[in-house]
Amino acid sequence: MIMNKEYDFNNIIAHFLIDGELLDCERYGEGHINDTFRITVGQGEKSVHYILQRINHRLFTDVDKLMHNIGLVTEFCRNSVEREGGDPMRECLNIVRTREGKAYYFDGSNYFRVYVFIENATTHQTVRHSRDFYESAVAFGKFVRLLADFDASQLYELLPGFHNTKVRYADFLRAVEKDSCNRRAEIAGEIDWVIAHKDLCGRIVDKLDSGEIPFRVTHNDTKLNNVMLDDATGKGIAVIDLDTVMPGSLCYDFGDSIRFGCSSAAEDEPDLSKVFFRYELYETYLRGYLHAVGDCITKEELENLPIGAIVITYECGMRFLTDYLEGDIYFRTTRPKQNLDRARTQFKLVEDMLLVFDKMCKTVEEVCHVTGAREQSILSA
């Protein structure tokens, strides 16, 4: 029988449309939110892998709605991939249903779901070569293209205000005020820094509210480790981790990839002298992204890509700092002060990007000329 101290995997797996004997189950990946396992099932001579996840239902309190969203998006992606002549079993997430036809199983205390395992592909925690980053940009750009005609109003907004930076700022101020863990004094410098940069909060949100930038279906968590790169060809094949697919701004999705991938160091690097913004990777990502989105991007979105990168990095740092103030209750941590280190790396990256902001905008124009993305609108702007 395969169990760990928390879960009886044999019993869980028995509820899904999976044939064969459970041979192995190991913790998998480095996500901050769900508990992810790779399970191995013996089917005759061969063994087959699946991804099993215990859904974080403290965050996603309505699992029915969560899986409704993921079901719709994966089905739409599958159809788009088929139309483009791709392989829907490798280029999208595929839900394995329960024997009752449901997209998840509830064992009385936890919710579980299973995905088809995408074989011979890997997610990366850092950019090893710029080629990886380019390919991840192509995959995220393709995700925009595949979902360009998706009707976002079909989706539940599961985490309202998820990337509403003004709401995040208000949450931060509340956490500072409450200081529930007596950590405020120790991080006075970081708190002052966030407040000094508060003008960043509205730079995207206000444009969404005024309609200048469109709401569209966005992924909302476009880190490098949420895209799978093919082991043989190095190509970005599938965008995964669809929990946060909701209406949002493409500028934030673009920006979140820049935030994570253009850092010279890990998100939680404690030594800030190792953390800097890698400009050449920003250029690389832009080229791949604009090439893949083609003309599915508006002129206003294009113009706001650089500020999107800065604001989402600011927002993410603020979320880490808020969690630190609240006692590390949201992001998974494996050591003390990890959330504080994460916050500090984000603030360092914001400072670096602010210094080169004008250049970042110029690069967008230059890359547009090369890729032809929205060339007409940029030229006539």
Residues in touch with ligand ADP (CB under 6 A):
28-29, 31-34, 36, 51, 93, 115, 117-118, 123, 225-226, 240-241, 243
Residue 92: which of ligand ADP, Mg ion, ligand GN1, none does it interact with, CB under 5 to 8 A by kind?
none
Residue 123: which of ligand GN1, ligand ADP, Mg ion, none does it interact with, CB under 5 to 8 A by kind?
ligand ADP
Q: Which residues contact residue 272 at a Cβ distance below 8 angstroms, ignoring those fewer than 6 apart?
A: 344, 345, 348
Report the alpha-carbon distance of residue 316 to residue 198 in Å, rounded: 13
Q: Which is nearer to ligand ADP, 155 or 367 (CB)?
A: 155
Closest to 50 measured CA to CA, from 64, 71, 63, 36: 36
Report the alpha-carbon distance of residue 313 to residue 44 in Å, rounded: 49
In angstroms, give the least distance from the CB of 331 to ligand GN1: 6
In angstroms, give the least distance from the CB of 124 to ligand ADP: 9
Does residue 150 contact residue 74 with C-beta atoms inside 8 Å? no
Residue 115: which of ligand GN1, ligand ADP, Mg ion, none does it interact with, CB under 5 to 8 A by kind?
ligand ADP
Residue 216: beta bridge partners?
Answer: 248
Please report, for residues 214, 253, 258, the alpha-carbon distance to residue 209 in angstroms, rounded to integers and kept in the order given: 9, 17, 24
In angstroms, give the least distance from the CB of 77 to ligand ADP: 13
Does residue 165 contact residue 201 with C-beta atoms inside 8 Å? yes
Q: Which is nearer to Mg ion, 226 or 284 (CB)?
A: 226
Q: Can you read off the two tokens belonging to residue 155?
A: 């989706």
Closest to 154 measured CA to CA, from 88, 247, 234, 78: 247
In angstroms, give the least distance from the CB of 220 to ligand GN1: 7
Q: Which is nearer to ligand GN1, 13 or 310 (CB)?
A: 310
Q: Does 352 bind ligand GN1 (CB under 6 A)?
A: no
In angstroms, give the least distance from the CB of 59 to ligand GN1: 6
In angstroms, give the least distance from the CB of 322 to ligand GN1: 12
In angstroms, give the least distance from the CB of 14 to ligand ADP: 20
| Residues binding Mg ion: number (CB under 5 A) | 3
Nearest 5°: the CA angle 122, 84, 303 is: 75
Q: Does 32 bind ligand GN1 (CB under 6 A)?
A: yes
Q: Which is nearer to ligand GN1, 98 or 313 (CB)?
A: 313
Taking CB atoms, the residue at the shortest distance from ligand ADP is: 31
How does DSSP classify residue 97?
Answer: P
Report the alpha-carbon distance of residue 1 to residue 23 in Å, rounded: 9
**CA-based Rg of the chain, rounded to a whole angstrom?**
21
Query: Phi and psi for 182 in degrees, rounded to 5?
Result: 55, 45
Binding mask 206-225 for ligand GN1 (x = CB under 6 A): ---------------x-x--
According to CB under 5 A, which residues from 201 to 260 bind Mg ion? 226, 241
According to CB under 6 A, which residues from 272 to 331 bind ligand GN1? 316
Does residue 299 contact residue 381 with C-beta atoms inside 8 Å? yes
